[in-house]
Amino acid sequence: MDTKIRVTIWNEFRHEKKHEIVKRIYPEGMHATIAEGIRSEDLDIRLAALDDPEHGLTEDVVNSTDVMLWWGHCAHGAVQDDIVRRVQKRVLEGMGLIVLHSGHFSKIFKALMGTTCSLKWREVGEKERLWNIEPSHPITRGIGDYFELPHTEMYGERFDIPQDGKVLFISWFEGGEVFRSGVAFERGHGKVFYFRPGHETYPIYHDQNVLKVIGNAVRWARPQIMQAHTAPNSPALEVIRTPNPHTTGAGMVQDLDGCHLPLGSARQARKNGERMTV
């Protein structure tokens, strides 16, 4: 495809305004640093933040986004449920979603995973080594056997995520723990990638390997199709010759709850004393 990938980088954007140490590392916000770091001809990037109207995720924005990035930490609870549902619906229709670091506890990630997404953590600024265990995957392209971050917050197992994700990175921490740091999922028609690095008090989103993985993930997660999920009644493609013992007449009727029944079954149900609208 020659069209650009429309990327929306969503950031809670509170730490950068409140804490001097974070402001020094990310003066315009983490989302702006990531945007600058992955900037490329094939990407059309815009930024959105929690305190924007509708969290910056209006119907228009969400419906014109191919891949969304999500960073949140201290204000997951402030994200409105109807906006979460809007983003979730778009993912199921085909939009890509890349969830970063403490976004593991965001409403959107938990909604898509269906698990608690809890983990162990410790913040002493220890070293992390991320092992690339799927070097043939598009998200790990250009990354060697491993890369290191000199100072990070530790996330440790057990990470309560579903087992259907493909693990691309495993982290080792100086303190001894390990963690599934890069995991790729499919939900509906959409692709979801969880990527661990990114604590706000370390310059993680200035790291070239981290930015390369995020850029790769954006291209991997771009929609292959965008399609709403409906549940249509499906006419048969072939003549069905197998007699249905429950149907003696053509057509469907509804019971009082709106459930559809074949006419023959409805006749039987009427005999049994059930009431039908038709």
Pairing status of strand 43-49 against strand 5-11: parallel
User: Do the beta carbons of residue 16 and residue 29 sit within 8 Å?
Assistant: yes
Point out the residue whose Cβ comes nearest to Zn ion.
199
> Measured from the CB atom, is 180 or 199 closer to Zn ion?
199
| b/e map 242-261, b = 16+ CB within 10 Å | eeeeebeeeeebebeeeeeb
11 binds Zn ion (CB under 5 A): no
Binding range to Zn ion, per CB under 5 A, among 21-29, 146-154, 174-182, 183-191: 146-154
Residue 128 is a binding residue for Zn ion (CB under 5 A): no
User: Distance (Å, rounded) from C-alpha 146 to C-alpha 138?
Assistant: 16
Nearer CB in complex with Zn ion: 138/150: 150
Q: How far apart are CA 117 and CA 111, in angstroms?
A: 10
153 touches Zn ion (CB under 5 A): yes
Residues 79-108 that bind Zn ion (CB under 5 A): 102
User: Which of the ranges 44-52, 147-155, 156-164, 175-183 carries the binding residues for Zn ion, by CB under 5 A?
Assistant: 147-155
Segment contacting Zn ion by CB under 5 A, of 14-22, 197-205, 220-228, 258-266: 197-205
Residue 199 sits in the site that holds Zn ion (CB under 5 A): yes
Nearer to Zn ion by Cβ, of 72 and 94: the residue is: 72
- Nearest distance from residue 155's CB to Zn ion, in Å? 8
3-state secondary structure of 243: coil
Total residues binding Zn ion (CB under 5 A): 3
Q: Considering Cα of 19, then 20, then 24, then 29, what sign does the dihedral take? A: positive
Distance CA 66, CA 190 (A): 10
21 or 252, CB closer to Zn ion?
A: 21
Neighbours of 114 (CB within 10 A): 10
Residues that bind Zn ion (CB under 5 A): 102, 153, 199
